[in-house]
Amino acid sequence: MTEWTILGAGALGCVIAGQLHQTGERVGFMLSERHRGHFHPNLDLITLSGRHQLIQSQPRFPEHARKVECLLVFTKAYHVLEALQELQHLPKSTPVILFNNGMGLSEQVKALLPDNPLLVGVCSHGAMKEQDWLVRHTGKGDTWLGPLNEAGKAWQHLIKPLAKALNHCEWSDDIALHQRRKLAVNAVINPLTAQYNISNGQLAEPRFKEAVEQLSDEVYQVISNLDASSAESREDFRRRLAQVIELTAANHSSMQQDVTHGRKSEIDYITGYILQHAEGIPVPVNQQLYDEIKNREMHKTKLAAQN
Ligand SMILES: NC(=O)C1=CN([C@@H]2O[C@H](COP(=O)(O)OP(=O)(O)OC[C@H]3O[C@@H](n4cnc5c(N)ncnc54)[C@H](OP(=O)(O)O)[C@@H]3O)[C@@H](O)[C@H]2O)C=CC1
Ligand SMILES: CC(C)(CO)C(=O)C(=O)O
């Protein structure tokens, strides 16, 4: 049986590890330097039903990379390249699956790991880290898996154990389509909730109607222009967006949480991707939100450096 190595033992990585462990899969964590020399308790996962599930796992560090059989990457988008670069002994035959939100990393990962089978996972489960090694599964979702390069196409069979563990996992030869659709939703919900410091559900209030409409129109135009042949209709996009807002109404988006806690956000890979691919389509609301969130990040970094 293949062992799944989770690179990025944060909220989502721990939830997926817990789900895999529950169905009898072998799971290991590849940890960051921050954890070296520290005590590693068992992972405590609070399931959707509120039960505590303790997961025993062998901690690994980059020098153990040659033993990795299948690598699932759950770091934030801005840590993916750095985290992969540390795994110098990763076998060329090991499949690597990227689960980060946002887009714009594919070409750099392909250049970094030209021989490995590369895949993308698009996952809409919800997860929240309550403290180190205490993680809550906050919502069930779908998972799509697909190839990022030619070698990745041979790994379709991975969907079977993933579907068993995660409730749903389907293969898509056009995984970029699923990435773009998720990006479009994130590009509306995340920066607005971060900027106004609100929960996802508050976006449905009348005071945000105009902002949501303007931003979703800009995002829709840019995303549909990327591949007109697979574009959904504007109405379908609006319906899907409203559904996510409703289903995650009580949640705070990842960007809202990052910005309020003074952490770096994934804005460069979400709104930044929209700005980079606008190709002449006017995107003033995206630009304004991008500038404001980047300013706040810069201000927090300066304050942290002074302290
Ligand atoms: N949380 C969610 O509900 C969802 C998240 N996503 C996406 O999944 C990705 C992960 O999100 P989330 O789990 O919330 O993020 P977290 O910040 O909770 O977890 C990221 C983890 O990556 C670890 N990490 C960073 N650099 C390295 C490294 N060099 N080596 C090993 N580990 C490293 C961090 O380690 P440490 O801090 O311990 O050093 C941290 O534990 C993001 O792209 C997010 O947008 C997608 C869908 C839902
Ligand atoms: C779907 C959404 C907006 C749920 O909060 C999300 O993916 C995120 O917060 O990054």
Q: Residue 257 CA: which ligand 2 atom is closest?
A: 9
CATH topology of domain 3-173: Rossmann fold (3.40.50)
5-14, 27-36, 214-223, 236-245: least confident range: 27-36
297 versus 109: which is more confidently predicted?
109
279 versus 304: which is more confidently predicted?
279
Per-residue pLDDT for 194 more than 90? yes
Residue 176 and residue 110 in contact, taking contact as beta carbons nearer than 8 Å: no
SS3 292: helix
**What's the pLDDT score for residue 188?**
98
* Distance from the alpha carbon of residue 11 to the mean position of ligand 2, in angstroms: 13
Q: At what angle do helices 234-247 and 209-226 cross, to 10 degrees?
A: 120
Pick the ligand that lies closest to the CA of residue 144.
1
The interface predicted TM-score (ipTM) is 0.98
Pocket test for ligand 1, best of 12, 255, 269 (most atoms within 8 A of CB): 12
Q: How far is CA 219 from the centre of its chain?
A: 19
The CATH classification number of 177-306 equals: 1.10.1040.10
What does the radius of gyration of the chain's CA atoms come to, in whole angstroms?
Answer: 19
25-29, 30-34, 63-67, 196-200: least confident range: 30-34
Q: How far is CA 73 from the centre of its chain?
A: 9
Measuring from each residue's beta carbon to the nearest atom of ligand 1, which residues come in under 6 Å? Answer: 7-13, 30-32, 34, 74-77, 79, 82-83, 86, 99-101, 123, 126-127, 129, 254, 266
CA angle 277, 105, 166 (to 5 degrees): 110
Q: What pLDDT digit, counting tens, does each position of 33-58 carry? A: 888 877 667 889 999 999 999 988 77
Pick the ligand that lies closest to the CA of residue 190.
2
Q: Residue 190 CA: which ligand 2 atom is closest?
A: 3
Q: Whole-prediction pTM value?
A: 0.96
| Domain locations in the chain as residue ranges | 3-173, 177-306
For residue 27, what are the contacts with CB-CB under 8 A and spacing of at least 6? 3, 4, 5, 6, 17, 20, 21, 55, 57
Average pLDDT, integer, range 197-210:
98
Measuring from each residue's beta carbon to the nearest atom of ligand 2, which residues come in under 6 Å? Answer: 101, 185-186, 189-190, 200, 244, 248, 251, 253-254
Average pLDDT, integer, range 119-141:
93
* Distance from the alpha carbon of residue 254 to the mean position of ligand 2, in angstroms: 6
Rounded Cα distance between 40 and 28, Å, is 12
* Distance from the alpha carbon of residue 12 to the mean position of ligand 1, in angstroms: 7
Q: What pLDDT digit, counting tens, does each position of 91-124 carry? A: 999 999 999 999 999 999 999 999 999 999 999 9
Average pLDDT, integer, range 228-237:
92
Average pLDDT, integer, range 139-153:
96
Q: Residue 9 CA: which ligand 1 atom is closest?
A: 41
